[in-house]
Structure 1
Amino acid sequence: MKRKTLVLPAVVGLLAPVLAACGGTDSGADGKGAIVVGTTDQLVASQENPAPLDPAIGYEAGVWNVLRQTVQTLTTVPNGGGEPVPEAARSCAFTDTANESYRCTLRSGLTFADGTPVTAEDVKHSVQRVIDIDAESGPVGLLANIDMIETKGEDQVIFHLKTPDATFPYKLATPAAGIVPKAQYPAKAARKGFQVDGSGPYTMKPEVEDGRVVRIAFEKNPSYKGELKVLNDKVEMDLFPDTGAMGKALDEKKIHLMTRAMSPEQAHEMLVSPKEGVDLTELPGLAISYLGFNTKDPVVTKPVRQAMAQIIDRGQIAGKVYGTTAEPLYSLIPSSIAGHTNAFFNKYGEPSTAKAAKILDKAGVETPVKFTLHYTSDHYGPATAEEFKAIQQQLNASGLFKVSVRGEEWSTYRPEQKRGDYAAYGMGWFPDFPDPDNYTAPFLDANNFLNSPYRSREAEKVLIPQSRRAADRTAAADAYEKLQDIVADDVPVLPIWQGKQYVASRDGIAGVERSVSATSELQLWELNRPNA
């Protein structure tokens, strides 16, 4: 989910409140105790995934929102962007000009929350187990380029890479490389359940009902040593089944913040009619929404996918469904990321049924093309169903398609999508780090995030390796332009929109503008009560 090697000026400085409402009191009678954060992220254990919070298994924004608070990584990306800086490490650097050997030295006196020393062997164990477990839907792809991990003494770790990768420091900054204690995390198997232990800024205690987390209590870890400044003692995360329940809790002063994911209607209502005692803060967002395809399915052939790209009106979908919270996207790489091009608009222009009909007619495709467009009903927010009804209406109105839509819960949806059960489906992407590599390689490289059968030899064997050799990320612009053109031509995925983020908070809470990163991860340590 994240990496980077250049400062992104489009991200820096965008964290700013869009409105402030006056009055109100802190939730909680005396303004003391835990700061309570609401979210609609769902953390569920199932027979298929009994270990959703193991760093070797969990690869979702909601999971990483928990891991970020509890496990340390060797490096971290500064708030607002920039190159990674040491976190659990006191220093990290490439030791060769080819960017194939990366050495980190741990901070002295570093311990896990229980007082056990953190050693280089713990780091090696933590990263190696992600590779060895190789979870089907896990984050192993971020670490797949590691050839060997070497330790020297108690505090030095050297990562030897298979191929040059200037983005590797960003990958080490993700929870995929989170450092966990060997005694509690088996080398070849996942740690079941919801408990997370590490050396991060907080310890955690989950409250579970029927295999589902309903609340997590985070307490400041007194043993924490790292780059982050923890500005509070306790934070509680309440997990709600939907945005309506979360909004009601904010109104009733049962929570201080409403975060992932506010509905577009809630954000619009607060913008138009500010609530007394509530602030709405707009944050930069790098999340994207897109359609994916099983490119081996005979129904969604390349001409069919191109015709869909020609018909779908992204602007109408973004405006009608999401209002001010989204804007149309014409590439896998968002417009706020260096290297972005409007590849799909450059190829297809404005939506046109006539042009789509020519594409299908030239390929001899019989119309209307019939298939089911699948989406997850409980993972990306309440507007998802409306979005896919809008896409269905656009395609069917052309007369060239006869599409039905179907929603499934994420626990069912994701395994079926990975198996290739769906010809066409909707997905979202919350980047692991703000670099164009993280919007291309996860979809086009071997062992890609979608388990897609699509392959482009030029992308996989030439352009992705070429782009990763550039320590100066601006030097990789040509490679990313070609990658975006390949995606626009072959349409293995079809970008729809990129989003903004909003956080609603009650008066008396500071640090809200820094509490969610541009990559949609909670940074609970930034929250505080300045007047408490």
Structure 2
Amino acid sequence: MNRKTLVLPAVVGLLAPVLAACGGPDAGGDAIVVGTTDQFVASKDNPAPLDPAIGYEAGVWNVLRQTVQTLTHIPRGGGEPVPEAAETCQFTDTRNESYRCTLREGLTFADGTPLTTEDVKYSLQRVIDIKDESGPVGLLDNIDTIETKGEDEIVFHLSNPDATFPYKLATPAAGIVQKDKYPAKAPRDGFEVDGSGPYTMKAEVKDGQAVKVVFTRNPTYKGDLKVLNDKVELDLFPDAEAMGKALDDKKIDMMTRTMSPEQSQKMLMEPQEGVKLTEMPGLAISYLAFNTEDPAVENKAVRQAMAQVIDRGEIAGEVYGSTAEPLYSLIPSGITGHTNSFFNTYGEPSTSAAAKTLQEAGISTPVSFTLHYTTDHYGPATAAEFKALAKQLNASGLFEVKVEGTPWAKYRPAQRKGEYAVYGMGWFPDFPDPDTYTAPFLDKNNFLNSPYRSAAAQETLIPESRSAADRSTASPIFEKLQDIVAKDVPVLPVWQGKQYVASLDGLTGVEWAVTSSADLQLWELGKST
């Protein structure tokens, strides 16, 4: 959470006006077309991929942000949250346990139905009640009670102090939905989304999978955002190569996540006429995670030895080039509180040090397991990354590793069930604060459904960190949390990514349309006149 926290968004705010092109709202009325490799699939395991109570992925949230309004939002360029559907919001006590918001006058859903505080209460309470195991309920589980006062005032009483709560209200987990379209205790199946945000949306679906999402300006929208276009089409591509070809053919105006490292590198080295490559700060991280109850890795010495063997610099340089850098902590550089805990603990890669760690723990070598990764969720370089990781581990002679890739629709449920001993994941922050890089992995109801527990983290450090209204004062606590992760290795950070967005000349607002947290803000896009 960020009260005086962020470094990178502040930098973005300073630089972006220099980059901005002249232009304004899309005068011609034609749709702006944006490409992405995000996939939205309705399956038996996940029949409601776009329900705010269920969806907890960057791509899903990028659809919801355009259509479902929240009480607060992160302002352009970063900083602490400001009111969006609310007129005002503030803590009303010194302990950050009671948070009060007053709604804007005249709010309605896109179909004209009035929006009241009862709708807000209903929306957040259903996320808590549904409590989906893969959903974002962890962001709201500190809410004790929600009190409404008339049609415009709502008070959140928290179980424990939480200075990050305004940021959580800015996430799609706190999106406001209609009672008659979203069941109170069950997900809303399919690909429909209804809200009061800047756009309405309609998904084109083929064989249970969305292939395009069309966003149309919502004429009833009342909020803090300025919408600079009338329509945006989000085209979903199977891979970066297909998305790149569409840009070359001028079938799309912009391509976002996830461009391949090869595409970014080529555009950097050989700029294309009529195409602009915009580099932006990136707060996404990639890491290995462990089922700490699996016999192969339940002894932390095995996980520590992996941390000693893996050469992050080689992975970042050979697989991702200039689009990634080695990461030695769950909290990436650019976020207040970051420290290189893994490097401080293990130093440079060392097979001899890893061998000693295993020997002292009485672990027979080679240690055998499978490295699991998802084939279609984090970009085209993931397979090469895991091949390189396996090569490093096997070359040490201490490990005997195989690699297996699985589509995300099957991968995530299997991971949640504990079927994988070692697996790769990526993380896009819920909001720009160190809390979102620690609590989702170490707290109760953690994102990975990991059996790992740290009493010091859950009972002392995380609650203490959330009590700090000035987020910079919490840095020593986050340093301790990072040191715990480096010692116990429930997760093993590998790299931190940069972001690149390619767009055709004439598209304006690109530098604002993607944040350092990889949030899409399509309302910022326009076409120059």
Q: TM-score range by the shorter chain?
A: over 0.9
Cα drift, residue 11 of structure 1: 2.5
1:72-93 Cα offsets, whole Å, 9 max, x none, are 0000011222110000000001
Superposed displacement of residue 387, structure 1: 0.3
Aligned mate of 1:398, from 393, 396, 399: 396
Aligned amino acid, residue 166 of structure 1: A
The structure 1 residue matched to 2:176, chosen from 166, 176, 179, is 179
Determine if contact 1:259/1:503 at 8 Å carries over to the other structure.
yes
In structure 2, the partner of 1:102 is: 99
* Cα distance in 1 for residues equivalent to 2:97 and 2:342: 34
Of 449, 452, 465, which aligns to 2:450? 452
- TM value normalised by structure 1: 0.96
Q: TM-score, normalized by length of structure 2?
A: 0.97
State the distance in 1 between where 2:303 and 2:413 align: 23
Counterparts of 1:205-220 in structure 2 under 5 Å? Answer: 205-220=202-217
Within the alignment, does 1:9 sit opposite 2:7 as a pair? yes
Q: Is the 8 A contact 1:80 1:518 kept in 2?
A: no
Aligned-partner SS, 2:527:
coil
User: Given the alignment of the two structures, is residue 164 of structure 1 paired with residue 151 of structure 2, yes or no?
Assistant: no
Q: Which residue of 2 aligns with 1:523?
A: 521
Partner deviation per Cα, 1:35-87 (whole Å, 9 max, x = no partner): 00000000000011111000000000110010000010000011222110000
Asked whether the equivalents of residues 5 and 471 of structure 2 are also in contact (C-alpha less than 8 Å), the reply is no
Count residues with an aligned counterpart. Answer: 521
**Shift in Å, 1:276:** 1.3
Residue in structure 2 matched with residue 287 of structure 1 by the alignment = 284
1:400-459 per-position Cα deviation (integer Å, ceiling 9, x unaligned): 001001000000000000000000000000000010000000000011000000000000
Pairing 1:236-275 to 2, within 5 Å after superposition? 236-275=233-272
Give CA-to-partner distance per residue, 1:234-289, whole Å, 9 cap, x none: 10110001111100100001000011100000000111111111000001110000
Q: Report the AA paired with residue 403 of structure 1.
A: V
Alpha-carbon shift at residue 521 of structure 1 (Å) = 1.1
Question: Residue type matched to 1:71 in 2?
Answer: V
Q: Give the distance between the partners of 2:169 and 2:157, measured in 1 at CA.
A: 13
Following superposition, the deviation at residue 208 of structure 1 comes to: 0.4
Which residue of 2 is the match for residue 25 of structure 1? Answer: none
Aligned partners of 2:355 and 2:100: how far apart in 1? 56
Q: Secondary structure at the match of 2:9?
A: coil
Which of 473, 482, 485 is the matching residue for 1:484? 482
Secondary structure at 1:431's aligned position in 2? coil
- Deviation of 1:155 after TM superposition, in Å, equals 0.7
Whole-Å separation in 2 of the counterparts to 1:201 and 1:520: 19
Of the three residues 265, 268, 275, the one matched with 1:278 is: 275
- Greater shift in the superposed pair: 370-379 or 5-14: 5-14
Higher mean alpha-carbon deviation, 417-426 vs 8-17, is at 8-17
User: What per-residue deviation string (whole Å, max 9, x for no partner) do you get for residues 359-411 of structure 1?
Assistant: 00000100000000100010000000000011000000000001001000000
Could you say which residue in structure 2 is the equivalent of 1:430?
A: 428
8 A Cα contact 1:5 1:170, kept in partner: no
Equivalent position amino acid for 1:160 in 2:
H
Question: Structure 1 residues 31 and 392 mapped into 2: Cα distance closer, same or farther (>3 Å)?
Answer: farther
CA distance in 2, matches of 1:322, 1:118: 46
Distance 1:13 1:476 in 2: 22
Give the secondary structure class of the aligned counterpart of 1:213: strand
Q: Structure 1: how far apart are the matches of 2:494 and 2:5? A: 26
**Any stretches of 5+ residues in structure 1 without a counterpart?**
23-27
CA contact (8 A) 1:39 1:238 kept: yes
CA contact (8 A) 1:111 1:223 kept: yes
The structure 2 residue matched to 1:357, chosen from 335, 355, 377, is: 355
Structure 2 counterpart of 1:207, one-letter code: E
- Determine if contact 2:9/2:79 at 8 Å carries over to the other structure: no
How far the C-alpha of 1:530 sits from its partner, in A, is 2.4
Q: 1:303 is matched with which residue: 301, 304, 320? A: 301
- SS of the residue corresponding to residue 211 of structure 2 reads strand
- Write the letter of the residue equivalent to 1:464: I
Structure 1 residue 153 and structure 2 residue 150: aligned? Answer: yes
Question: How well do the aligned residues superpose, as a CA RMSD in angstroms?
Answer: 1.5
Aligned to 1:38: 35
Helix, strand or coil: the match of 1:416?
A: helix
Contact 1:467–1:476 (Cα < 8 Å) also in 2: yes
SS at 2:404 equivalent = strand
Give distance in 2, aligned partners of 1:430 and 1:254: 28
